[in-house]
Amino acid sequence: MKEALNILLEFIIAYIVVFILYWLLFIRKKTTYDKNKVPVEFYYLISLYRLDQKKINYKKFIYTSAFINSFIIVFTYIIISKLLNKWIWQLLIGIVLIVLLIIICYGILGRIYQKKGMKKNV
């Protein structure tokens, strides 16, 4: 029980640190929409879920993607550092885990946007 609480505390601290670093490095200057500097996640959601760019609040999307990306990074770190010992397994499982988490987390976000009525009118 005590080890689970230590892992949870490490997750929370690492999440806060990663989110602050992510915000300082990537978000601070990107809160206004610039067609040439849009993150890949934005185009991924728009093309895969046929969303309307104009209906999505870009600033809110940037912060949501920061929360998601921070979660992906920290969750992968915790799983790999606590379960695996050999670096080759850490690398292989880490890559697979990151890809799966990206597909799952952004899939959930895309479906949320679809339910909110941000779908293109075709």
Q: Mean pLDDT per segment of 10 residues, for the chain of length 122 residues?
A: 91 96 83 73 87 86 93 95 89 95 95 84 62
Other CB atoms within a 10 A radius of the CB of residue 52 amount to 13
Longest dimension (CA), the chain: 54
- Helix segments in 1-122, DSSP class H: 2-22, 40-49, 58-83, 87-115
Q: What is the pLDDT of residue 44?
A: 87
Q: Is residue 54 included in any domain, yes or no?
A: yes
Q: What is the pLDDT of residue 31?
A: 65
Distance of CA 18 to CAs 38, 51, 70, 75, 76, Å? 21, 29, 6, 11, 12
Q: How far apart are CA 71 and CA 112, in angstroms?
A: 18
Rg of the Cα atoms in the chain: 17
Q: Is residue 28 included in any domain, yes or no?
A: no
Q: Is residue 56 included in any domain, yes or no?
A: yes
Q: Is residue 90 included in any domain, yes or no?
A: yes
Q: Is residue 23 included in any domain, yes or no?
A: no
Domain that holds residue 74: 2-15+39-115
Q: What is the pLDDT of residue 75?
A: 96
Q: Is residue 105 included in any domain, yes or no?
A: yes
Q: Is residue 98 included in any domain, yes or no?
A: yes
Q: What is the pLDDT of residue 103?
A: 94
For residue 114, how far is the Cα from the chain centroid? 18
Domain count, the chain: 1
Q: Are 112 and 102 in contact (CB under 8 A)?
A: no
Q: Is residue 121 included in any domain, yes or no?
A: no
Q: What is the pLDDT of residue 49?
A: 87
